[in-house]
Structure 1
Amino acid sequence: MKKYIVFILMFGFILNYQHMNGQKMTQVQTDALINSDEFSFHAERANPTNYDVINIANSLPNAPAMRMFQLQGQGYGFSIKKNELEVVLPYFGRVFNPTYGNSNNNSYRFTSKDFKIEKTQKKKGKWVYRIQPKDVNNVSDIYIEVFKDGGALVSVKSNDRQPISYDGYISKTEIETEKEKL
């Protein structure tokens, strides 16, 4: 009887794992996106490093205990194009130099036209990007680890707040034409 219970639990875990990783790509698709240097990152989870934020979120009534905040369906992420980096990511953590009256500065929402990209390939097909926006005051580095199945881990290092990381996946950037913008 114990063998059946273990088998059922393992089968359930495998199905759950496959459901969670539904956005995966093949190695060829991932390499094509990496070689083009134009892709979008879609954030599914945020992992704040400040335990005060985690403790406050876990102390809310009927809140599940968690360390990562689910962001699915919110449209958070960023896109890298040849001459533009557009970032829309939420922020959970301590801000050392807050700006009052402007709620747009509480998250990472910016478009950079002047940035430097360093790209290196690591073991097992993993790629690591380091993006340094030069025309944004509060972000010094954005690190992206892209795995061969299209999964990605993004870490944002800032000048005026604690670091935060995001978990998600990459996809092809949809190019907007001027008519679609209007």
Structure 2
Amino acid sequence: MKRFFVLKTAVLLFMGALISTGLFAQETKAQQKADKVAKIKSLIDSQNYVFVAQNALPMSGRMRNLTSEYNVIVGADSVISYLPYFGRVYTSVDYGATKSPLDFKTKSFDYNATPGKKDGWNITIKPKDHRSVQSMNLSVSSEGYASLQVTSSDRSPISFNGYITERKVKKK
């Protein structure tokens, strides 16, 4: 009888340890998610982040996975876009140009961030001194996944999927 009691106690202790470990793991995952959401929110609020594009979706044509690092660096005082363009051009083009129309830097732009669906954000960037790009609309989820739609005055729209990450400041 004593053996049964010891065995029963050991089993109950073991089951209690498993349950508490599972609850601790759930709390840890919930805390990690909350920390990530807070970090993304602080990046958006401080206007200091990088959108990293992973694939491009031209208006016509197929989705293209991007193998090089294409991004948009957003700062309080500047926006640096380094994105490829695939799509239709509506005006005459300088065929000798090797630079993408989405490869530019501006210090003159409008920036508007509003809360979006499910704890995300909708961000609109309108460059004032880059006539080709009318607007860049960035939809960011609370976990940092993002979609960027670029509307142009002389080209068909293009979208990019990717994620938001912290902007790394280069040391001199």
TM-score grouping bracket, smaller chain normalisation: 0.7 to 0.9
1:100 matched to which residue of 2? Answer: 95
Q: Which residue in 2 is equivalent to 1:79?
A: 73
CA-based RMSD of the aligned residues comes to: 1.3
1:88 lines up with 2:82 in the alignment: yes
- Cα distance 1:126–1:40, how it changes in 2: closer, same or farther (>3 A)? same
Amino acid aligned to 1:115: F
Query: Could you tell me which amino acid in structure 2 is paired with residue 44 of structure 1?
Result: Q
1:109 paired to 2:103: yes
Structure having the higher strand fraction is 2
User: CA offset at residue 123 of structure 1?
Assistant: 2.5
Partner of 1:41: 51
| 1:161 alignment partner, SS class | coil
**Higher relative contact order (Cα pairs below 8 Å, separated by 6+ residues):** 1
Which consecutive residues of structure 2, in runs of 5 or more, have no partner in the other structure?
Answer: 1-34
Partner SS, residue 69 of structure 2: coil
Q: Which has the larger radius of gyration?
A: 2
Identity of aligned residues (%): 34
- 1:61 matched residue in structure 2: none
Would you identify which runs of 4 or more consecutive aligned residues in structure 1 move more than 2 Å? none
Alignment check: 8 A CA contact 2:73 2:167 kept: yes
Cα distance in 1 for residues equivalent to 2:165 and 2:116: 20
- Equivalent residue runs for 1:1-182 within 5 Å: 26-50=36-60, 54=61, 67-72=62-67, 74-97=68-91, 98-104=93-99, 106-177=100-171, 179=172
CA–CA distance in structure 2, aligned partners of residues 89 and 125 of structure 1: 27
- Alpha-carbon distance in 2 for matches of 1:81, 1:33: 10
Paired AA for residue 95 in structure 2:
Y
- How many residues are matched? 137
Output the amino acid matched with 1:36.
S
Cα distance, 1:102 vs. partner? 1.3
Question: Quick check: 2:46–2:76 contact (8 Å CA) kept in 1?
Answer: no
Alpha-carbon contact 2:101-2:132 (below 8 Å) kept: no
TM-score by length of 1: 0.72
- In 1: Cα distance, 2:143 partner to 2:81 partner: 23
Offset at residue 101 of structure 1 (A): 1.5
